[in-house]
Amino acid sequence: MIFAHDTETALGFAAALVNTAGAKELLPDIAALDALVRAWEWSGDRTGDEAELRAVRALRPRIRRFWEADEDRLVQIVNELLREAKAVPQLVKHDSWDYHIHATPPSAPLATRMAVEAAMALVDVVRNKELGRLRICAYPGCGNVVVDLTKNRSKRFCDGGCGNRAAVSAYRARKAELAEKDRRRSAARSRLRKKRLSARKRP
């Protein structure tokens, strides 16, 4: 584990949230937000209305800047988010989670809690000089963000299926390369046979 469990979870959620704003809107309605909240086990109060959905959507470009800013600018962004929310870190324990840090009360708006959780996670990333683990998906034309939590820093693709697409593309490229090599060998053998036949026909 590179960071504490709650930090890694918060980073994963931040990436997942940002990636809902891709070419296709993945938070089209309240039901989609409900599903996202359940999948990532968010605790605390909810309003479950359109205003909450709009606030979460509006948060996405601010969080995306984590992947685009240099260290100094990122620190400014993180500090802005924490100041806006009047964040006060506290150790808490709830549901199946052991003690971890929350910096907002459970009654705070959902988007505020999401912003602060992401900002608190980035505090650890900056302090540990691990900004290189925040990347853009390497698949051509994707643009999704990636959090690389592997020990050998090997994660290149987002969780939206680009790894599989890259593997399929690589497989097809290898097949095409092998087919081209076979074609060249066949052509070479054919030329060799023609030369031999031509040599036999000479007086």
Q: Rounded distance, CA 96 to CA 173, Å?
A: 46
136 DSSP 8-state letter: E
Digit-by-digit pLDDT tens for the chain (203 residues) are: 899 999 999 999 999 999 999 889 999 999 999 999 999 999 999 999 999 999 999 999 999 999 999 999 999 999 999 999 999 999 998 888 899 888 999 999 999 999 999 999 999 999 999 999 999 999 999 999 999 999 999 999 998 889 776 666 655 667 667 667 767 777 777 777 767 666 666 55
Tokens 């020990």 belong to 151
According to DSSP, the β-strands at 97-102 and 90-94 are antiparallel
Q: Rounded distance, CA 81 to CA 117, Å?
A: 10
Pair 188, 196: CB distance under 8 Å? no
